[in-house]
Amino acid sequence: MELRFITLLLLVAAEHARGDPQCKTANDSKDWALYYKKRSSDDAHVFYADTTSADWEKDTVDLDSELSEMFNNLTDTHLIAYSDFPPHARAAIGCASKARGVFAFNDKEGWLISHTVDQWPNIYAYKPPNEKDKKAAVILCVSIKDDAFEHWGEVMDYQDPLIYASKGDSLDNYPALKNLINAPTTKTSPYVKTGEIQSSNSPTLTVRIFSKLPQGRIDIYSNLIALSLKKNLIVWSKPDANNRLLNSTCSSTYKVENVNQAKPIKLGTESISRKDDSSTWAISKAPKLFCMGNADRTEADKSVGAGVLCFENENVHTIFKKIANSAGRQSC
């Protein structure tokens, strides 16, 4: 039986009608935003769409005040939430797609969050990310307009997300979104799908989505992303239950190297070990690609649905290259 999908944090917005769902901070709207939640804290480092330096916008922000308005203002909004470890589950659902996220929208625009947090968010009684998951995490929020809704739904269908909550009126005007909350349809080879969506505001952010079904049995980084984008990649990935990762791949046309799991990464002044970080992210070796999601580089992950979001921003790439370099890379 096919299941359905979820995925560090990014935020997006534009000039909109009052009340339209969009990525928000404590003080205003943003076209997009990327958060790296600190360990055992609701504080997070943040990079906004209008950040102009190769550094986090602020030392830290409080995620409760940053995100609560978005989740507490969903009265007249459609919503689809998905995760393999939803709020009231006792453990992660092993055979489910690893996609994690929330899509809230009306007939004009919406916001999309992709994240790596366990048991979050509870859309009926919102609590900040650190309420149940004490690990570091990445969250991405992007504001998108209605012309991107269907395309997002079509690509997400190939992650087979596990939907744990949905609300709103009929989705008859959005067949691909309606399909996500119904039983999955039969798919055929190659069991992967890619697509692009644009953020709401100018200059728009182009977000490339990579999706794979369990039947594909591939490492999404070496077999799809690197080949599609023609780039060498560096990946910070969670190991399996036995602390194993697929080896760095250096013999193919495009290399995929693991960040060294044996050493902690440096996030600001904090050192974070692999076991204390729920995030999975990747960068290109050369500027300026950044990716985040819930697809890991393990043998077991080849057999579950998952997806990755990628975009190009030289400053974000510089920040995460510095983080990757703080631990070094696994040699081939």
Residue entry with tokens 């921003």? 313
Give the bridge partners for 279, in sequence order: none
pLDDT in tens, 218-267: 999 999 999 999 999 999 999 998 889 999 998 889 999 999 999 999 99
- Mean pLDDT, residues 166-195 taken together: 93
pLDDT at 271 over 70: yes
The amino acid occupying position 324 is: A
Question: What's the gap between Cα 91 and its chain centre?
Answer: 20
Quick one: pLDDT at residue 19? 64
Q: How far apart are CA 175 and CA 154, in angstroms?
A: 9
Peptide bond into 190 cis (omega under 30): yes
Report CA dihedral (307, 8, 69, 170) to the nearest 10 degrees. 0
Which has more pLDDT, 11 or 142?
142
Q: How far apart are CA 279 and CA 281, in angstroms?
A: 6
- Average pLDDT across the chain, whole number: 92
Q: 25 pLDDT band (50/70/90 cuts)?
A: confident
- Mean pLDDT, residues 126-155 taken together: 96
Query: How many Cβ atoms are within 10 Å of 211's Cβ, its own excluded?
Result: 29
Q: How far apart are CA 293 and CA 237, in angstroms?
A: 10
